[in-house]
Amino acid sequence: MKKRVYDFICTHPDTNIHDIASAVNEPELEVLKTVNALYRDGYVTLSKIVPLSPENSDSCRYSATGKQYFGDSNRTCGWKTMAKYKLGEICEIVSGSTPKTGIAEYWDGNLKWITPAEIDDESYIITDSARKLTDLGVKKTGLSSFPSGTVILSSRAPIGKVAIAGCEMYCNQGFKNLICSDRINNRYLYWFLKGNTAYLNSLGRGATFKEISKKIVSDIEINVPEISQQLAAVDALERVSEIIRLRKNQLQKLDELIKARFVELFGDMYLNTMEWRELQLEIMADIVSGITKGRKIAGKQLTKVPYMAVSNVKDGYIDWTTVKTIEATDQEINQYRLLPDDVLMTEGGDPDKLGRGAIIRTPLENCIHQNYIFRVRLDESHILPDYFAEYLKHQRAKRYFLGCAKQTTGIASINMKQLKALPVLLPPLELQNEFSAFIRQIDKSKVAVQKALDEAQLLFDSLMQKYFG
């Protein structure tokens, strides 16, 4: 397929993924992987990576040319031969500290002072802080500020949060911030660190909590091309990142639309303003726990089948990317086999995710589930899966689970008895069917958006690999 994709790009320098896929008769996602591989390995040069117009933006448009004849083993790629530097060689690394919180004169001034808690996954340019210091607080603590443009890196609790200072700031001891020399662009460094969170965490040291020291940060190596190439990399990454952000926002808006329709049809469920009747879940559902790993099954014929674990059941959807397998007997497969429209619910986890569930629309053949997952098979003469799955997200259901759950440090769990006793409001089936039809239409839109998001994410990952290795 590589040869066919390459030849098409060379003869059609202004094209898109859809056109390439049609020409080579291959799935668009596989074609996108191939184009990215050609780009990464130096066979093609992509002069543009931009989204299509909103009405047809499910693919990325390329303005591309063949860099050299396909199969030439003597190709060169500037990104493969660039210089490597340690961060300590091209950046000044600064940290901070916390003035005594009991001394009022140190606080509520006008000097910005940040903590790792103020940085999240969406942070980029930071221009303010939750708390402010006074001149006296800075003087008595011996704090040094860092200038606008500094790359802010959290070094503990947690490791790897990244942002760029949009103004002069101070910080607490949870940072190792990087003031860039003229050898490296701060936004280029930002993307490098943001794409290496797992690696940064692997460098953490300490028994009580992990932390990366100034020495560790100083020794991290980074590919450093010419500034013009850094800026080109930043431009490509930021454009694709913006596409990803917009796609995620689309998915969020669609979820909000579902919630709005739920309220429109069924009223305020928390107060039950429509006075719907209420039944316990066990009256209208068959509920079972799943298979136990490590059980004794010696001497029995086993079959390897897909195995749904807690990590696969998210809040409102099934994650198919990490489905594993397990060996099971025919009896176990028959007992625990998942069917279309089964609702899977987790036994425990973070308190705010307690009782999370998702409909499994099209299970893999002979797919079963583990014992920490409840399979709920509904009697659809009373209640429909789409309605029930959305009901589980509502505060009325969450309040019930939190009220009866067993809770330990940061973990909450429910048992079979408690789940069976879950009180569920039951609107008429006609309304549930109307809601279900609405869900199916929204799901079609979500599938299209998710596909576009997956493609954009694949492109982004490929670019990160190309630039930073």
Residue 31 CB burial class (10 angstroms; 0-12, 13-18, ≥19): buried
pLDDT of residue 74: 33
137-187, pLDDT tens digit by residue?
A: 999 999 999 999 999 999 998 999 999 999 999 999 999 999 999 999 999
- Residue 110 pLDDT > 90: yes
Read out DSSP for 97-125? ----TT-GGGEEEEEEEE-GGG--TT--E
Q: Count structural domains, the chain.
A: 4
354: domain CATH number? 3.90.220.20
Domain assignment present for residue 265? The answer is: no
**Do 204 and 89 have their domain in common?**
yes
Q: What angle do CA 127, 133, 139 make, to 5 degrees?
A: 125
Q: Report the C-alpha gap between 59 and 448 in whole angstroms.
A: 11
Other beta carbons within 10 angstroms of residue 208's beta carbon come to 5
**Do 307 and 407 have their domain in common?**
yes
From 27, 50, 78, the end of a domain falls on 78
Cis peptide before 351 (omega within 30 of 0): no
Read out DSSP for 220-243? -EEEE--HHHHHHHHHHHHHHHHH
**Do 245 and 318 have their domain in common?**
no
- Residue 106 pLDDT > 80: yes
Q: Where are the beta strands (DSSP E) in 361-452?
A: 368-369, 373-378, 406-408, 411-413, 423-426
From 21, 51, 78, the end of a domain falls on 78
pLDDT of residue 39: 65
**Do 322 and 244 have their domain in common?**
no
72: domain CATH number? 1.10.10.10
Is there a contact between 31 and 462 (Cβ–Cβ < 8 Å)?
Answer: no
**Do 317 and 185 have their domain in common?**
no
**Do 60 and 175 have their domain in common?**
no
Say which residue the tokens 């028959």 belong to.
334
Predicted confidence band at 70 (pLDDT cuts at 50, 70, 90)?
Answer: very low
pLDDT of residue 316: 80
**Do 367 and 445 have their domain in common?**
no
Phi and psi at residue 262, to the nearest 5°: -60, -45
308, containing H or E segment: strand 303-308
Averaged pLDDT, 197-217: 92
pLDDT of residue 378: 97
pLDDT of residue 87: 97
Domain assignment present for residue 320? The answer is: yes
Residue 34 CB burial class (10 angstroms; 0-12, 13-18, ≥19): buried
| Beta bridge pairs of residue 114 | 171
Of the candidates 287, 291, 269, 286, the one whose C-alpha atom is nearest the C-alpha of residue 278 is 269
Predicted confidence band at 27 (pLDDT cuts at 50, 70, 90)?
Answer: confident
Domain assignment present for residue 400? The answer is: yes
Q: Report the C-alpha gap between 43 and 46 in whole angstroms.
A: 10
**Do 338 and 286 have their domain in common?**
yes
- Residue 375 pLDDT > 90: yes
259-281, pLDDT tens digit by residue?
A: 999 999 999 999 999 999 999 99
Quote the tokens at residue 254: 């669609």
Of the candidates 154, 166, 153, the one whose C-alpha atom is nearest the C-alpha of residue 125 is 166
Is there a contact between 370 and 307 (Cβ–Cβ < 8 Å)?
Answer: yes
Of the candidates 55, 58, 65, the one whose C-alpha atom is nearest the C-alpha of residue 35 is 65
**Do 329 and 396 have their domain in common?**
yes
pLDDT of residue 58: 41
29-46, pLDDT tens digit by residue?
A: 777 777 776 766 556 655
Q: Which amino acid is at 424?
A: V
Q: Report the C-alpha gap between 222 and 87 in whole angstroms.
A: 7
Q: Report the C-alpha gap between 141 and 98 in whole angstroms.
A: 8
Q: Report the C-alpha gap between 174 and 150 in whole angstroms.
A: 15
What SS3 state is found at 153?
strand
Q: What percent of the chain has pLDDT over 90?
A: 63
**Do 444 and 344 have their domain in common?**
no
Phi and psi at residue 130, to the nearest 5°: -70, -40
Predicted confidence band at 350 (pLDDT cuts at 50, 70, 90)?
Answer: confident
- Residue 47 pLDDT > 80: no
Domain assignment present for residue 233? The answer is: no
Q: Which amino acid is at 361?
A: R
Domain hosting residue 368, numbered range = 277-426
Task: Mark out the alpha helices in 47-86 (DSSP H runs).
Answer: none
Averaged pLDDT, 342-367: 86
Q: Pick 232 or 357 by higher pLDDT.
A: 232
Quote the tokens at residue 450: 């998710």
Read out DSSP for 323-381? -EEEEE-HHHHHHH---TTEEEEESEESGGGTT-EEEESSPPTT-EEBTTEEEEEE-TT
Q: Pick 134 or 298 by higher pLDDT.
A: 134
Domain assignment present for residue 340? The answer is: yes
pLDDT of residue 1: 79
Domain assignment present for residue 272? The answer is: no
For the chain, what is the mean pLDDT? 86
From 78, 95, 126, the end of a domain falls on 78
Pairing of strands 125-126, 159-165: parallel
Pairing of strands 170-171, 107-114: parallel
- Residue 54 pLDDT > 60: no
Predicted confidence band at 216 (pLDDT cuts at 50, 70, 90)?
Answer: very high
Domain assignment present for residue 137? The answer is: yes
**Do 362 and 391 have their domain in common?**
yes
Q: Is 272 left (phi over 0), alpha (psi -120 to 50) or beta?
A: left
Domain assignment present for residue 229? The answer is: no
**Do 178 and 282 have their domain in common?**
no
381-428, pLDDT tens digit by residue?
A: 999 999 999 999 888 998 998 888 887 767 888 899 999 999 999 999
